[in-house]
Structure 1
Amino acid sequence: MGEYSDSITVHVPPDRLFAYLSDVEHLPSYMPRLTSVHPHEGDQVTVTAHIEPADAPEQDVTSEAYLHVVEEGKSLEWGAPGPHDYRGRLHVDEGEDAGSCRLTVELHTGHTREQVENGLKEALSGIKQAVEKAER
């Protein structure tokens, strides 16, 4: 199992970014392979993603997951059952400049380092683009 972490500066106020990320309906706007999200009671969600595995044909997969919003400290925790023990946490902190914030994502997964690091950078970039565009 591996532990991964990366950060990015986002040019919106921390409360705005946290509100955007706390709404699970926004997930497909910044997670490129995610095609749908259906929240259920409590922290449970059903997600569908379009994947292109190296050893199988491309396909849509649906999974149950959880997403827990922690208002105090502006963080989210999530995870999905399965062989990769996938779970993560993100934190939204004040930025160095007024009107900006720092987003840090931490992941725990059994996927390969290259897959995770590329996906993490892609997700951070997607979040930054989606929320800054929504702010305009």
Structure 2
Amino acid sequence: MADHEASTTVDVAPNILFDYLADVERLPEYLPWLTGVYPTGPRPAEAQGMEARRPQQPVHQKVEVTAVDPAAEPSEQPVHSEAWIDVVEENRSLRWGAPGDNGYHGELDVDFVADGTSRLTVRLHTTQAPDQEIDHHLHHALETIKSTIENTPPTPGDTPQA
């Protein structure tokens, strides 16, 4: 078993960063080994807003994930798997995992640092032996998130980066 953790500071307000990260269909934008994330059912009623659920109640969503192993040969086929994602808006926390014996799960937290600045922390737990390659991919994902959100101007309909 291995636990991995990495953090970075992002020059974007915490609510904007969290809204971006909580949009599960955007995961492949910053996790390059994911080639697709597809909800397997309708959006839960709890996702309609905080008034539709109890305090600290996560919005639980089941998804199907298509991924490639970053260490695999380019000719290997993508892997399809079921997974789950829990979003807790009040804490700006997102948890995820995959059912089965692999014990894989993780979480991310977005914390306030200062006006327009956030701290993003990601933790992963796997049943694999400790592996520096996983740490490398984790740091790469954080840098991709930081670069993408800091350098992408808002599009119509998005929350402006204030």
Query: Does residue 125 of structure 1 match 2:162?
Result: no
What is the letter of the counterpart of residue 120 of structure 1?
A: L
What is the letter of the counterpart of residue 2 of structure 2?
A: G
Partner of 1:107: 124
Q: Which moved more, 1:76-85 or 1:118-127?
A: 76-85
How far is the alpha carbon of 1:84 from its aligned partner?
3.0
1:56 and 1:21 mapped to 2: Cα distance?
Answer: 28
1:98 and 1:74 mapped to 2: Cα distance?
Answer: 16
- Percent identity, please: 46
3-state DSSP of counterpart to 1:66: strand
2:124 and 2:105 mapped to 1: Cα distance?
Answer: 6
What is the letter of the counterpart of residue 45 of structure 1?
A: V
Query: Does residue 2 of structure 1 match 2:2?
Result: yes
What is the letter of the counterpart of residue 117 of structure 1?
A: D
Flag structure 1 segments of 5+ consecutive residues without an equivalent: none
Partner of 1:60: 78
Q: Which moved more, 1:61-70 or 1:124-133?
A: 124-133
How far is the alpha carbon of 1:83 from its aligned partner?
4.4
How far is the alpha carbon of 1:128 from its aligned partner?
1.1
2:153 and 2:9 mapped to 1: Cα distance?
Answer: 15
TM-score normalised to the size of structure 1?
0.89
1:6 and 1:48 mapped to 2: Cα distance?
Answer: 24
Aligned length: 135
* 1:79–1:14 Cα change, 3 Å: same
Deviating above 4 A after TM superposition, structure 1's stretches of 4 or more consecutive aligned residues are 52-57
Partner of 2:56: none
What is the letter of the counterpart of residue 145 of structure 2?
A: I
Which of the pair has more CA radius of gyration? 2
Residue 62 (structure 2) aligned to one of 37, 44, 48: 44
What is the letter of the counterpart of residue 61 of structure 1?
A: V
Partner of 1:22: 22
Question: Residues 33 and 70 of structure 2 are in contact (CA less than 8 Å); yes or no, is this contact kept in structure 1?
Answer: no
* 1:84–1:93 Cα change, 3 Å: same
2:73 and 2:153 mapped to 1: Cα distance?
Answer: 40
TM-score normalised to the size of structure 2?
0.75
